[in-house]
Amino acid sequence: MAYNKENLRLVGGYPGDNLYIYSSDDAIATVITSDYFGDAENDYNLTAGDIIIAKTGDNAAADMLVVSGVSPATVVNAT
C-alpha cells in the first residue's frame, strides 16, 4: 500500500515540532522507507523534527517516528 493522507492527523504544534497520528495497514518497515511520507510535505507542511505516532500493520502497537529530512521525506523509528 502507500501513504494515505486521510490517515494522517495533525494533533498540534508548529513546523519542526508538530505532532501527528498516522494509521495504516502497512508494516512499519514499509512506513519508514524513504519518501513514504513524500506527499505529506505538501498535504501537511511536514518538516524535519516533526513527530508521527504510527499504528501500523495488524498489531495494536504504535511506533514513534521522527521526521529527519524532507525531499525526500525521511523518518526514523524512535521507538
pLDDT over threshold 90, residue 11: yes
Q: State the Cα angle at 63 between 57 and 66, rounded to 5°.
A: 125
For 21, other C-beta atoms within 10 Å of its C-beta total 14
Considering the chain, what is the average pLDDT of its residues? 88
pLDDT over threshold 90, residue 72: no
Q: How confident is the model at residue 71 (pLDDT cuts 50, 70, 90)?
A: confident
Look up the pTM and report it.
Answer: 0.89
- Digit-coded pLDDT (tens) for 17-43: 999 999 999 999 999 998 899 888 888
